[in-house]
């Protein structure tokens, strides 16, 4: 029996054929990835499913087993104590630890160069650094700019473009911050004894609470001491520290470790200020730490017991039912600075202030609701593209054709960059398609989705607007293709195979025209990698080949779109050949030997030669290749 057959047979019985011991401080996710590679699985998600951890997308790593599971340990083939230590099954603070474990993949480049495995610290969403190598953790591939996920069997490579992450540049945490950050990392250590050791370093006033809450307090102190630092808070009962700069956490650690002297220094009032900024911020944000709210209140009151001046004004405003600037910002889902910009632009009215200058801005709830209604009427380009099931170039065409319109409201423009659209108009278009689309006949022609039909259209933009207009006008029969209402997207609409063949062959020339160039849509749309793949009808690996061999600039280069369009005029992909003429790979691969037509650039073929050949072969008129100026 071959090795692959043995692995498959053993996996069906539930036990892995080749057990693997975890490395000290290795993360559970990294261990599963290494175990999947060791047992010849095609991808980590296959092992995840085999172990009964659920089947989820790679970016949404399944939750760790929450309770002791002897059967799970038996299937791994390792000692129970090893997995117990890794998953903290016997640790009474496991729940507090697990809620801080993120689902994305982050790595330390220096750590990977030292030893190629994924560390537990890298999974903790509240740490943006590695306490072993002192690298700032990398969460995005430097080559393709995509978020790192768990789809690859190699933790040191990007799962999308296979870039070797060890070759990227490293950003290090400043040396002066490291002692304080080591204390913060110790509070989140997977080993309970090491967490306890870190807690004992804190002053006696903080030792009655858990190490995790000490960490949250330190993060709160660091933020309150310097509110200009990067970072923010969630509403509710938990402090948000994801994405905090190491400097903020280090400052909070120093405040904890140097208590009470640190509070004494921070209690010094600034000129013309009734209350120290630090304590004002603690009062404002302290409600986010409900489990230790009383202790935090006592700490603040011991150092800043003043409850008059601005505090009294605040109390009076609250009794009148007015909202603070922060409350308005939370209600609108924006930043405080954005609300201030609305006030400065006279787009939202603030209540009359006390004196010539004020420390607080207050708003009537009705004014906040008015602005919220305006914001609810907008939809971003990315959301609109996902809702309708159309790529960004297709949205451009709909705007140019007058089927969609930009949202030009001043409030929307002040708060949101990039093109914004009218939500009601977009949703109505989707409902119109749902009403028009009918169920395909039980007995009849085979259906082909619009997305698949457009894979046979090359050397030009996909004519989304023309086809959408024809469907809305009833000139093309469109079918729901069995799609559920909540999953309905325009690209999934079905048309008859007969129409699809005629359309791709150029027998509907009016539907192939694109009314207007992208720059006439009234907004600038980023041309993404997926848009390029769609334009060239190619696979991701084909686009990577073009980029690697210098035929395309960087995806962020302003000339990227025009370069893709130029290549589309010159080249045709194997995928387009298959969809356009429905030929087999065998026939396609025989072209060099039998007809002298060879690939011209990597996986791509010369477009003119291929189209001439198949025009003669099938005796049909192909749609002509149009220059960019002839698209409209």
Q: 116 pLDDT band (50/70/90 cuts)?
A: very high
Under 8 Å between Cβ of 117 and 30:
yes
Alpha-helical segments (H) within 188-335: 192-200, 211-225, 246-257, 261-266, 277-285, 293-303, 310-319, 325-332
- Give the residue from 362, 374, 364 showing the smallest Cα distance to 413: 374
Mean pLDDT of 492-496: 84
pLDDT of residue 239: 46
Mean pLDDT of 482-509: 80
* 622 exposure class (CB count in 10 Å sphere: 0-12, 13-18, 19+): middle
Mean pLDDT, rounded, of the chain: 81
pLDDT of residue 626: 40
The 3-class SS string of 126-164 reads CCCECCCCCEECECECCCCCCECCCCCCCCCECCCCCCE
pLDDT of residue 592: 85
pLDDT of residue 530: 87
Which range, 171-175, 385-389, 516-520, is most confident?
171-175
pLDDT of residue 143: 92
Decide if pLDDT at 425 tops 60.
yes
pLDDT of residue 238: 43
Give the least confident one: 386-390, 492-496, 523-527.
523-527
pLDDT of residue 187: 94
Q: 265 pLDDT band (50/70/90 cuts)?
A: confident
Decide if pLDDT at 311 tops 70.
no
Decide if pLDDT at 378 tops 90.
yes
Residues 536-562 pLDDT 10s: 999 999 999 999 999 999 888 889 989
What does the block give as tokens for 206?
A: 């903080």
| DSSP 3-state of 605 | strand
Task: Look at 331 and 513; give whichever has higher pLDDT.
Answer: 331
Phi first, then psi: give them for residue 421, nearest 5 degrees. -125, 170
pLDDT of residue 310: 57
Q: 240 pLDDT band (50/70/90 cuts)?
A: very low
In the chain, domain spans: 3-167, 175-308, 312-363, 528-631
| Rounded CA separation 482/470 (Å) | 21
Decide if pLDDT at 632 tops 50.
no
pLDDT of residue 443: 57
Mean pLDDT of 601-608: 92
Decide if pLDDT at 179 tops 90.
yes
Residues 331-363 pLDDT 10s: 999 999 999 999 888 899 887 655 444 445 788
Q: 516 pLDDT band (50/70/90 cuts)?
A: low
Mean pLDDT of 104-116: 92
Under 8 Å between Cβ of 39 and 18:
yes
Decide if pLDDT at 446 tops 70.
yes
* Percentage of the chain modeled with pLDDT above 70: 78
Q: 60 pLDDT band (50/70/90 cuts)?
A: low
Decide if pLDDT at 521 tops 80.
no
Task: Look at 298 and 181; give whichever has higher pLDDT.
Answer: 181
Decide if pLDDT at 250 tops 90.
yes
Number of H helices, E strands in the chain: 32, 8
The 3-class SS string of 208-240 reads CCCHHHHHHHHHHHHHHHCCCCCCCCCCCCCCC
pLDDT of residue 442: 57
pLDDT of residue 519: 53
Mean pLDDT of 104-108: 91
Give the least confident one: 128-132, 160-164, 360-364.
360-364
What does the block give as tokens for 617?
A: 């072969």
Mean pLDDT of 148-153: 88
Q: 316 pLDDT band (50/70/90 cuts)?
A: low
Task: Look at 490 and 230; give whichever has higher pLDDT.
Answer: 490
The 3-class SS string of 52-115 reads CCCCCCCCCCCCCCCCCCHHHHHHHCCCHHHHHHHHCCCCCCHHHHHCCECCCCCECHHHHHHC
Q: Which residue has the tokens 């200020």?
A: 273
pLDDT of residue 624: 44
Q: 315 pLDDT band (50/70/90 cuts)?
A: low
Mean pLDDT of 468-490: 79
Which range, 270-284, 398-412, 430-444, is most confident?
398-412
Mean pLDDT of 267-295: 62
Decide if pLDDT at 629 tops 80.
no
pLDDT of residue 291: 60
pLDDT of residue 628: 40
The radius of gyration of the chain's CA atoms, rounded to the nearest angstrom, is: 30
- Give the residue from 331, 373, 325 showing the smallest Cα distance to 349: 325
| Rounded CA separation 626/397 (Å) | 17
pLDDT of residue 113: 94
| Rounded CA separation 61/79 (Å) | 24
Q: 200 pLDDT band (50/70/90 cuts)?
A: very high
Q: 204 pLDDT band (50/70/90 cuts)?
A: confident
pLDDT of residue 232: 42
This prediction has a pTM of: 0.47
The torsion of the CA quartet 331, 334, 338, 340, rounded to 10 degrees, works out to: 20
pLDDT of residue 193: 92
What does the block give as tokens for 505?
A: 């062959």
pLDDT of residue 80: 82
Decide if pLDDT at 242 tops 60.
no
């Amino acid at each position: 029996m071959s090795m692959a057959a043995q692995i498959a047979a053993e996996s069906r019985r539930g036990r892995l054929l080749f057990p693997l011991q975890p490395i000290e401080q290795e993360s559970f996710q990294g261990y599963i990835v290494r175990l999947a590679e060791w047992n010849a699985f095609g991808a980590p998600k296959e092992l995840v499913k085999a172990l009964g951890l659920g089947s989820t997308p790679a970016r949404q790593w399944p939750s760790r087993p929450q309770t002791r599971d002897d059967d799970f340990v038996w299937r791994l083939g390792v000692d129970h104590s090893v997995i117990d230590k890794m998953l903290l099954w016997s640790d009474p603070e496991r729940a507090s630890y697990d809620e801080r474990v993120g689902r994305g993949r982050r790595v330390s480049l220096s750590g990977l160069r030292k030893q190629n495995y994924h560390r537990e610290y890298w999974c903790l969403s509240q740490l943006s650094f590695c306490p072993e190598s002192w690298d700032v953790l990398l969460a995005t591939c430097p080559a393709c700019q995509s978020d790192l996920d768990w789809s690859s069997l190699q933790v040191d490579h990007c799962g999308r473009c296979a870039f070797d992450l060890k070759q990227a540049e490293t950003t290090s945490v400043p040396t002066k911050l490291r002692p304080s950050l080591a204390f913060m990392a110790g509070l989140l250590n997977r080993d309970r004894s090491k967490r306890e050791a870190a807690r004992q370093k804190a002053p006696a006033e903080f030792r009655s609470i858990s190490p995790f809450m000490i960490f949250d307090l330190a993060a709160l102190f660091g933020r309150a001491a310097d509110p200009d630092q990067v970072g923010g808070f969630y509403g509710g009962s938990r402090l948000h520290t994801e994405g905090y700069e190491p400097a903020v956490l280090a400052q909070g650690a120093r405040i904890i470790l140097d208590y009470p002297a640190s509070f004494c220094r921070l209690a010094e009032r600034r000129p013309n200020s009734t209350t120290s900024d630090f304590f004002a911020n603690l009062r404002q944000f302290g409600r986010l730490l409900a489990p230790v709210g009383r202790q935090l209140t006592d700490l603040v009151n011991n150092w800043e017991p003043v409850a008059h001046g601005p505090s009294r004004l605040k109390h009076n405003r609250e009794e009148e039912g007015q909202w603070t600037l922060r409350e308005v910002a939370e209600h609108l889902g924006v930043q405080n600075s954005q609300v201030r910009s609305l006030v400065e632009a006279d787009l939202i009215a603030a209540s009359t202030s006390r004196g010539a200058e004020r420390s607080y801005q207050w708003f009537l709830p009705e004014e906040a609701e008015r602005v919220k209604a305006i914001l609810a009427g907008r939809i971003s380009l990315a959301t609109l593209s996902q809702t309708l099931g159309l790529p960004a170039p297709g949205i451009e065409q709909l705007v140019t054709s007058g089927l969609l319109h930009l949202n030009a409201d001043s409030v929307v423009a002040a708060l949101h960059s990039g093109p914004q659209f009218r939500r009601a108009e977009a949703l109505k278009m989707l409902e119109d398609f749902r009403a028009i689309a009918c169920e395909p006949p039980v007995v009849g022609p085979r259906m082909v989705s619009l997305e698949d039909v457009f894979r046979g259209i090359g050397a030009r933009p996909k004519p989304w607007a023309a086809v959408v207009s024809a469907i809305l006008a009833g000139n093309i029969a469109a079918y729901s293709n069995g799609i559920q209402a909540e999953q309905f997207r325009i690209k999934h609409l079905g048309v008859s195979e007969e129409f699809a063949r005629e359309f791709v062959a150029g027998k509907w020339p009016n539907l192939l025209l694109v009314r207007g160039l992208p720059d006439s849509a009234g907004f600038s749309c980023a041309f993404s990698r997926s848009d390029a793949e769609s334009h060239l009808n190619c696979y991701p690996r084909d686009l990577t080949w073009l980029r690697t061999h210098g035929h395309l600039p960087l995806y962020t280069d302003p000339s990227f779109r025009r370069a893709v369009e130029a290549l589309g005029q010159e080249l045709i992909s194997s995928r387009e050949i298959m969809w356009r003429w429905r030929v087999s790979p065998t026939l396609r691969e025989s072209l060099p030997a039998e007809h002298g037509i060879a690939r011209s650039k990597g996986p791509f073929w010369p477009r003119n030669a291929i189209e001439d050949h198949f025009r003669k072969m099938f005796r049909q008129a192909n749609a002509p290749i149009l220059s960019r100026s002839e698209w409209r």
